Structure 1
Amino acid sequence: MKYSRQIKPISYLKAHAADVVRDLSKRHEPMVITQNGEARLVVQDVESYEQTQETLALLKILALGNQQIEAGRVVNVKRAFQRVRRNRTSD
């Protein structure tokens, strides 16, 4: 994905909003909007945004898991299943 083709000034966004929405929905690539020659924001379709958020959530879970492993906060799988079974029968 080449972001260089998806860089537009804010005036383009103002004048072609409907075209931008259609293009972003079709391509699923973000568009960088500039103001006074500097990148100011990124615009993307909702589906791509949701996928990005889900990916970030999974990465956070993985990072937390790695931190727990490094801190030694791990449980043997057999012991973990015993706890789950015990909690299910006590409900």
Structure 2
Amino acid sequence: MIEKIPGVYGPKAVNKINVKKSLQSASGEGGRDGVEFSSFAVELSKVSAELKKIPDVREDLVEGFRRQIQEGTYAPDLEKVARSLIVAGLLNGEE
């Protein structure tokens, strides 16, 4: 069956395609490439840069909890802890 394919299309069926590269843009200016970012992208970039300045760990809170634990005054809300554990278990499919 494969040997019949050249007979159907013939040797001239596949022609070389000549591609001309054009540097002319749609506006008619030639030879210039450019990128233009939307105002949203610029704003997103600024916000991202500001977020990178914020530390991942709030050392002041960690130090406060550390001090409370060492002094024996740390008293977490046990109902809130239990509720969080139950919700986490339900979300993970555990019972």
Query: What interval of TM-score do these two structures reach, taking the shorter chain for normalisation?
Result: under 0.3
Instruction: Give the strand-richer structure, 1 or 2.
Output: 1
Structure 2-normalised TM-score? Answer: 0.25
Q: Which has the higher contact order (CA 8 A, sep 6+)?
A: 1
Structure 1-normalised TM-score? Answer: 0.26
Instruction: Give the helix-richer structure, 1 or 2.
Output: 1
Higher Rg? 2
